[in-house]
């Protein structure tokens, strides 16, 4: 936490106008060069292209790219800082390990050129955490898809860049590896104070890792802001898995239950219970994601139910999709908004109406969580 505040609040300033074949990449954004920013958008929307522009591998027809005080690209003044001077780590969608080097030598390559202006990640820990210990002597041609991605990740982190660009770095990993690597990655980036820009198709990953999210569509910025706000917005439809749509909620820790491994938090005067987040002190503020599909509605407070989180809410809006079976409800709990996805049949059977006071049932096991930097 404290670390998150320590650096000067640099920004990565982007003003880009570039044509690549049929794609017109046209956007402006001021991305905080701190924490993780996710770039999220459908296939072909220009995510990789944007990263390549930032890294300096391609030049925009017109545009400005600045990190803090340093200008990287400025077409008006014909400035284009060479890629290797940008200290811009990059994890490529296709791995790009050096095929003439072993895994070990790939890491050594990065080590020899790492930024020495501040401490980098602990390499031994990196090798262990990414499960590379047995691969070190291997030629890169013999690695599996997932192994390639893990080595690429290690290599980029060892280089200790001033900013790290990650292009779907975990797409070839199984859920279990991801579950191991994600927390480690978050921790390392935070610890070494490396801001990152992260392209992913997984809302889970975005929610877990990122502080801010840039929504890209067809080369244009569709939305940009704190991940909480973005994920809440309805625009996710058509980009994210429907299953993943939902609301981000800020909560404050009120207590821990060590025996049952639970943490209690307060959301707008109500209490929610979630799987323990042991390391966080009481009164810390955290962010929760509540998926619409994990929220059920009851017209009166139910008894004898395994669902423990029951919040009194007001029904603010009902969106029925007549083409499908589902309806989406917008719920308010004080200032906080929640979403619920029901069948239209249920809306009809329960005779739900706007303005009605109902209960939102939230299965406690369905939380994602991430500590906010603020």
Partner 1 sequence: MIDPGPLWLTLKLASLVTMILLVVGTPLAWWLAMTQSRIKPVIEALTALPLVLPPTVLGFYLLLVMSPNSPLGALWVTMTGTTLTFSFTGLVIASVFYSLPFMVQPLQTTFQSIGKAPLEAAASLRASPFDTFMTVVIPLSRRGFLTAGVLSFAHTIGEFGVVLMVGGNIPDQTRVISIAIYEHVETLNYAQAHILSAGLIAFSFAVLVAVYSINGKGSVRVG
Q: Which of residues 72-131 bind ligand ATP (CB under 6 A)?
A: 93
CB 81 within 8 A of CB 137: no
Q: Which is nearer to ligand ATP, 43 or 77 (CB)?
A: 43
Q: Mask 173-212, x = binds ligand ATP (CB under 6 A)?
A: ----------------------------------------
Rounded to the nearest 5 degrees, what angle is found at the Cα of 88, between the Cα atoms of 83 and 90? Answer: 100
The nearer residue to partner 1, 98 or 365, going by C-beta atoms, is 98
Please report, as residue ranges, which positions from 31 to 50 form the binding site for ligand ATP (by CB under 6 A): 41, 43-49
Nearer to ligand ATP, 20 or 184 (CB): 20
- DSSP class per residue in 220-277: EEEEEEEHHHHHHSGGGBTTB-GGG-EEEEEEEEEEEETTTTEEEEEETTEEEEEE--
Which of 19, 28, 324, 374 contacts its own copies by CB under 8 A? 324
Segment contacting partner 1 (CB under 8 A): 107-115, 171-179, 193-201, 205-213?
Answer: 107-115
The candidate with the shortest Cα–Cα distance to 188, out of 213, 215, 214, 166, is 166
57 binds, among its own copies, partner 1, Mg ion, none (CB under 5 to 8 A by kind): partner 1
In 3D space, the residue among 168, 116, 107 whose CA is nearest the CA of residue 140 turns out to be 107
User: With binding defined as CB under 8 A, does residue 159 bind partner 1?
Assistant: yes
Enter the DSSP assignment of 102.
B
Residues 164-183 that bind partner 1 (CB under 8 A): 165
| Site for ligand ATP contains 19 (CB under 6 A) | no
CB closer to its own copies, 87 vs 199: 199
- Residue whose pair of structure tokens reads 């979630």 in the numeric block: 274
Q: Across-strand partners of 102?
A: 139
Residue 170 binds to ligand ATP (criterion: CB under 6 A): no
> x/- string (CB under 8 A) for partner 1, residues 123-152?
----------------x-xx----------
Q: State the binding partner of 114 from partner 1, Mg ion, ligand ATP, none, CB within 5 to 8 A by kind.
A: partner 1
- The window from 20-28, 73-81, 139-147, 174-182 that contacts Mg ion (CB under 5 A) reads 139-147
185, 212 contact by CB (below 8 A): no
Among ligand ATP, its own copies, partner 1, none, the one that 299 touches (CB under a kind-dependent 5 to 8 A) is its own copies
Residue 63 β-bridge partners:
16
Residues in binding contact with ligand ATP, number by CB under 6 A: 20
104: nearest Cα among 35, 151, 150: 151
- Name the minimum Å distance from CB 187 to ligand ATP: 23
Q: What does the alpha-carbon distance between residue 123 and residue 104 come to, in Å, rounded to a whole number?
A: 11
Which residue in 4, 32, 42, 83 binds its own copies (CB under 8 A)? 42
**DSSP letter (8 states) at residue 370:** E
- Answer yes or no: are the C-beta atoms of 111 and 158 closer than 8 Å: yes
Burial-class residue 238 by CB neighbours within 10 Å (0-12, 13-18, 19+): exposed
């Amino acid at each position: 936490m404290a670390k998150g505040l320590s650096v000067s609040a640099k920004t990565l300033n982007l003003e880009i106008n570039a044509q690549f074949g049929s794609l017109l990449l046209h956007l402006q954004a001021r991305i905080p060069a701190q924490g993780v920013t996710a770039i999220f958008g459908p296939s072909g929307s220009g995510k990789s292209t944007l990263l390549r522009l930032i890294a300096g591998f391609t030049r925009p027809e017109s545009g400005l790219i600045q990190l803090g005080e340093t200008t990287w690209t400025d077409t008006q003044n014909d400035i284009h800082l060479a890629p290797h001077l940008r200290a811009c780590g990059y994890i490529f969608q296709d791995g790009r390990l050096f095929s003439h080097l072993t895994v070990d030598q790939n890491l050594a390559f990065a080590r020899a050129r790492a930024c020495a202006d501040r401490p980098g990640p602990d390499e031994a820990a990196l090798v262990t955490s990414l499960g590379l210990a047995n691969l070190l002597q291997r030629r890169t041609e013999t690695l599996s898809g997932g192994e390639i991605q893990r080595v690429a990740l290690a290599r980029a982190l060892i280089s200790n860049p001033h900013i790290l660009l990650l292009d779907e770095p975990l797409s070839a990993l199984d859920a279990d590896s991801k579950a191991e690597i994600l927390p480690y990655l978050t921790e390392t980036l935070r610890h070494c104070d490396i801001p990152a820009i992260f392209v992913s198709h997984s809302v889970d990953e975005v929610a877990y890792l990122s502080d801010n999210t840039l929504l890209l569509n067809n080369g244009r910025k569709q939305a940009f802001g704190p991940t909480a706000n973005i994920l809440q917005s309805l625009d996710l439809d058509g980009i994210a898995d429907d299953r993943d749509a939902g609301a981000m909620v800020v909560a404050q820790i009120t207590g821990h239950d060590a025996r049952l491994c639970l943490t209690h938090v307060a959301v707008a005067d109500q209490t929610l219970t979630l799987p323990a987040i042991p390391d966080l002190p009481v009164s810390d503020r955290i962010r929760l994601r509540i998926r619409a599909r994990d929220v059920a509605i009851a017209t009166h407070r139910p008894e004898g139910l395994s669902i423990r989180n029951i919040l009194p809410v007001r029904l603010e809006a009902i969106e029925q999709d007549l083409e499908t079976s589902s309806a989406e409800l917008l719920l308010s709990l004080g200032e906080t908004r929640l979403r619920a996805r029901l069948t239209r049949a249920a809306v009809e059977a329960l005779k739900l109406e706007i303005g009605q006071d109902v209960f939102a049932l939230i299965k406690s096991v369905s939380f994602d969580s991430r500590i906010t930097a603020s």
